[in-house]
Every structure is written in structure tokens, then in C-alpha cells.
A and B are shown apart, each in its own frame.
Chain A
């Protein structure tokens, strides 16, 4: 059994919708994410995947339960400690969340300029090295709006890697990309992970594509989680809601049905 990077202990979270009804997104959920591996959190729309990421980062607080990152409960941390904790994470957002008013270079350099005491020469060298590694050399003067979706994701990845994070969170890394780009991004993840050895957590509904990367899969469904250590385990699962989920995401489309 490998070491644990993140552990959810009985986490519940609900929101109040417009009709004033409480909607339970996570219902006493417990699971752990192993260190140095790739864990995929999958699930249908609105099943709380992004909420899970926000809980890990302390951007949202759970209604009850504890989230342990290396043994520290992030739900109890004060602002200052939380900021310190966050420097150990790198986050690649769904839309890359690059700063539109800054060039690619400035975007990637920002965490180094703000959070480290490195000089401008050192920063420049490091940033250019990373941009070259991710196939972005020659684009450093451009602005995010001038880049394609795949390039924006790569800039986001470069930015997320600057503070040498131990854990990287990917929120829907391939949404809006074509299959070739998607494959390329996955290869890039696998390569950088091999190189640096971070723990990666990927939230995705790209099923089954994202399984190619996964060491472990957590499926979120109706506030509950199921953990699987391999793709075969999911496809042979006897649990009805998992079978149903697999059928809905990977099963064949009944065209005859559609015509009728």
C-alpha cells in the first residue's frame, strides 16, 4: 500500500438551490488519493467533481468531515496556513484561467515573481526552459486570446508547475479539445509526471479516454463514491449503479431506438 497524499473523511457538502431546497452533492464521502500516482475522479455532470477539487484547495468548506493533506486537516486551517498549503498545489483550471491582460511569459512567471525571491534573470531562464519543453517557444510574447485551446492548456500547465508542486489538480483538462489534442495533452501529463513525480488528481468526464492515465479511478454518483484500482475492475463491477454508469458512458448507442 502506497502512501496517502490526500484523504477525505466523511465529507458532506450541500448547496441551497433557487427553490430553497438543500441539494446534497457529497454525502459522507470517504476516499484516499495515493502519493505519486494519478487518480481520476469521474462522474456525470453536476455530481460534484469540481466541488471536490475546490474542497481540497480550501476554496469551499465542507458541511462536515475532514480533508487531510499529508495529515493536516485543510478544513480547519486559518487563512495564512491555507495560503502556505496552497503553494504545494498546482492547479490547471477548466478554461486554463490565464490572466488575459498578461503575456504568456508573464502568466508563467507570475507565481515565481510573487511567491519566490528569485531574480528576473533566473525566472526568465526557468520560464523559457519550461515553455520550450511544452512546445511553446516563440509564443512567449503572445496574449492568451491569441492562442488555441490546446496551447492555453499547455501554458496553464507550465504555470501550475512553476512552484514545484507536490500535487497537481487538473479540472477537466481536455474539455473543448479535439481527440488528437486530447491525446497530446495526456502524453504531456504522463511525461511531466514521470519527470517530476508529482501526485496528480484529474477531474474529467472524458470517459474512457482519461482511464489511459489512471492508476486509480474514483466514480462520483449521487453523493457517493466508488474507488477502483483498475479499469477492468470498473467494467466487471457488479454494482448496478456502476454498470448503469458504464453503460451510459461507454455503452453502444441503440440507433434503432433513436429512429423510432
Chain B
């Protein structure tokens, strides 16, 4: 028994190593290493792009999996309510205090409503929601798909002629794209309420000027900017998190088995968080 399972392990590991088609070279020459790094990076990007295209194509392939989509919205959206609530209320309350402190130096406490709401709607709402969702739902999706990949469950789907994208990945894409803007709107609302609590209730800002300042300064364009951000972040987070899990066997240096899944999950959360921050700047620079 022991010997049999031992042999099996060696075999699957050996095969896994052979499966790696990446152009990694264990060379001491820095130029060679740079070259092999470049080849690995470009082929990885190519695989990720192909993955994304297949996932979007899966969204329009029939039969449509409504039950799975609802389950995913429940997990990504409804399941994130509590964590989004606490992040939003504390962010809003801190913004209220901090804003009051800064604005009162100029005697402009009346501007608190517009300061808090603009910061939340255009900036903190979309970014913090995306970061929280990447940490909570993104990591879970990545690990789930990674485990399905290494235990041949995805191969099994293909062998049954079931498209793994339509079946597994695309519902997650759609659910994320639907949930993220809604969660962001929820974040904004709770955040503005938090700012009201600390600014108006605790520090004594005039409630009328808090609401009125918000009403006059927030334009449709600001809300549109926040919406575009949350949509782009949703696409980034779901793409990176599911993609890293799906490609777990092809990522250089990820290792094998359970370790490879834990590594790509960490990598997915870090990569999606960083790309959210980068794209936040880019979108602001382009659309503002």
C-alpha cells in the first residue's frame, strides 16, 4: 500500500514537471534569465487573455446556468454585505471626523457633506469595496478553481463535453460584474451615513448643510465615474482571481499540489489589489 501510493506520487509529480511548457531556464547568465523571464511573462499574459476571452464567450453560450449565477451573486454579493458594512461605516465616520478637523481650520464645516460624499463616491467606495471583495470572495474563487484544476475535476468536465467556462467560470464573471456596482453603492450609502453620524451627531455640524452640500456638489458625472470604476474593478478582480486558479498548473514557480493552490491564491489577491489601485489612478486621470 505504502509503496504503491509512494510510486503514484512520484509519477504524478514527474509528469507535472514535464507538463510545464514554460521556458524557464536555470541559467546563471543574467541575460538568459531576463530573456526567459520575458518569455514566461508574455506567454502567461497570453494565456490570461485567452482565458478572459473564453470566459466572456461562455457568458453567452447556452444553456444558461441561472441557478449557479444566483448562487454566486448570493456568495459574492449578499455574503459580502457585513464586511462591506463595517468597512464603510468606519471609513465614513473617520472621514467625518477628519474632514471636520481639516475644514474647521478654514471655518468651512458646512462643506463636510460634499467632502465626505465626493471622496466616497469617486474614490474610496469603489476602491475599498473592490479590495474587500478581492480578499473575501476573490481568494475563495481562486482556491476553489485551483483545487478543481489539480484534482482533475476540470478535465472531467471537458471529458463529459461540458464547457468548463460556461459551467464554472462565466457565472462567476457575471455575478461579480453584477454584484460589485451594487456593493459599491451600498458602501457609498453607509459611508455617507457614517460621516453624518460623526460629523453631525458628534461634532455638531448643521444637518441641513451636510445634506445640502452633498446635493449641490455631487453631479451625475461623479456618480458615473464611481460606477465605471466599480465595473472595471469587478472585471479585474474576477479575471485575475479565477484565471490564476484555472492556470495553476501552468504558472512558473507555483509548485505542485496544495502548495501551488495556496501560492496562486495569495498571488491572485495581491495582483488584483495592485491592479485595482493602478486602474483607479488611470480611470481618474482619464475620466475626471
Contacts and interface: CB of A to CB of B under 8 A. Distances in A.
Contacts of B159: 57, 59, 86, 89, 91
B40 to A, nearest CB: 12
Given A175-B5, A178-B1, A18 B11 contact: no
Interface residues of A, number: 38
A20 B21 contact: no
Nearest to B152: A97
Contacts of A17: 17-18, 20
SS of A interface (majority): loop
B107 interface: no
B217 interface: no
Contacts of B4: 175-176
A259 interface: no
Given A84-B161, A86-B158, A115-B160, A25 B5 contact: no
23 contacts: A15-B19, A16-B20, A17-B17, A18-B24, A23-B18, A45-B7, A45-B10, A46-B11, A51-B15, A86-B161, A93-B155, A94-B152, A97-B153, A97-B156, A98-B153, A99-B153, A100-B151, A100-B153, A110-B162, A114-B167, A175-B5, A176-B1, A176-B4
B221 interface: no
A229 interface: no
Given A93-B152, A205-B7, A16 B161 contact: no
Interface in B100-158: 147-148, 151-153, 155-156, 158
B23 interface: yes
A87 B155 contact: no
Given A20-B25, A110-B162, 17 more contacts: A18-B26, A19-B25, A25-B18, A45-B10, A45-B11, A57-B158, A83-B161, A86-B160, A89-B159, A91-B159, A99-B148, A100-B151, A110-B160, A111-B160, A114-B160, A115-B160, A159-B160
Contacts of B148: 99
B14 interface: yes
Interface string A142-168: 000000000000000001000100000
Contacts, number: 93
A50 B18 CA distance: 12
Interface residues of B, number: 35
Nearest to A169: B159
Interface string A98-112: 111000000000110
A97 B163 CA distance: 16
A15 B10 CA distance: 17
Nearest to B21: A16
B170 to A, nearest CB: 14
A77 B233 CA distance: 37
Nearest to A47: B11
A20 B63 CA distance: 43
Interface in A1-40: 15-20, 23, 25
A15 B15 CA distance: 10
Q: Sorted from nearest, which 8 A-B pairs have the closest CB atoms?
A: A45-B11, A97-B156, A97-B152, A15-B18, A46-B14, A83-B161, A91-B159, A86-B161
A221 interface: no
A195 to B, nearest CB: 21
B160 A97 contact: no
Contact of B24 (A20, A89, A91, A110): A20
